[in-house]
Amino acid sequence: MKGALEVKNLSRVFKVRERGLLFSSTRLLKAVDGISFNVAPGEMLGIVGESGSGKSTTARLLLGHIPASGGEIRFGGEKVSAKLDADWRRMRRRMQMIYQDPLGALDPRIPVGQQIEEPLIVHRPELSAAQRRAHVADMMGQIGLLAHHGTRYPHEMSGGQRQRVIIARALIIDPELLVCDEPVSALDVSVQAQVLNVFEDIRTRAGFTGVFVSHDLKVVRQVAERVAVMYLGRIVEIGDVGEVFANPAHPYTQALVSAVPVPGRSRRSRIVLKGDPPSAVNVPAGCPFHTRCPEVRSACRSIRPELVEKGRRAVACHLVNNPSLSGMEAA
């Protein structure tokens, strides 16, 4: 199906060298650990979780920026890989990314108007220079930039303006899939709201499929229809945004949502998790979350829970998928 994103058993393992007093050793870091999900055409999936959960690595894998260690990614029925060949370049015409750091993603030596035009030069060689300039002017108008902004260099613009440039550059070739990696995390709240409004207006008109990575659940609730919660490289819960935010099932999701004001649940108490997430180099046996879970049972320490679908939601938790454990004494 055109525009549908399918991810099956996706994983990415990095080799990490650890140096001791006499010897060094190499260990494996499981940044993404066998995740699967689908995104329907025109749908926006949010991916949330703490730092180190694998969100940004997943975003890079989706566009073939880095090779996967295992699993498969398909967009519109075609396989996505990181092999730099003709098929990869053709797929890149259909897939674009909005980066977290606009200053790092923009060339400080080139006016932003030329940088917005660059994807057209690469992917739309049939266009004349005049046609490209017309496209750039139209896109800048859509994202709220004036014509004279195109002659400025990145350092001459505000953070919100630079982020609009990044959005314009990603959307200038009308991609079918847009992956956003923390696109507004560095902006002030007021500027963030302006950029998100522009983003949603363009999405309504363009109808692209999207994946929106963020640690900010309020932002994800605004832009996404579904949300996947990641912890130590795995998806622990995925479902409709409204349902997950109103009634989170996994204890980790409950802790994340408890920190965010939700309409109709103003009296919800804050759940404070103890300690930091374990290292992805040394993932605990059983449920990776059991070292911090306030509801841990003995089964959680030894048996790895699978992501079980129930209706439009899927949860990887023994307490949710095996209710008989709920009455057992905590381990």
Q: The domain 5-94+175-327 is classified under which CATH number: 3.40.50.10470, 3.40.50.300, 1.20.120.1760, 3.30.230.10?
A: 3.40.50.300
From 156, 183, 212, select the one nearest 39 (Cα to Cα). 212
- The percent of residues in the chain predicted with pLDDT above 70, rounded, is 92
pTM of the model: 0.89
pLDDT digits (tens, 9 = 90+) for 264-300: 555 567 888 888 888 888 888 999 999 999 888 888 9
Confidence label for 154 from pLDDT (cuts 50, 70 and 90) = very high
Q: In the chain, what are the domain boundaries?
A: 5-94+175-327
Instruction: Reply yes or no on whether the pLDDT at 329 is more than 80.
Output: no
Residues whose CB falls within 8 Å of the CB of residue 227, separated by 6 or more in sequence, listed in order: 45, 46, 47, 48, 220, 221, 238, 239, 240, 241, 244, 245
Q: What does the alpha-carbon distance between residue 169 and residue 21 come to, in Å, rounded to a whole number?
A: 49
- Residue-level pLDDT at 180: 92
Neighbours of 69 (CB within 10 A): 17
Average pLDDT over residues 10-28: 81
Report the mean per-residue pLDDT for the chain.
87
Lowest mean pLDDT among 40-44, 81-85, 101-105, 188-192: 81-85
Query: So what's the pLDDT on residue 271?
Result: 83
pLDDT at 1: 45
Residue 314 and residue 270 in contact, taking contact as beta carbons nearer than 8 Å:
no
Instruction: State the pLDDT at residue 306.
Output: 93
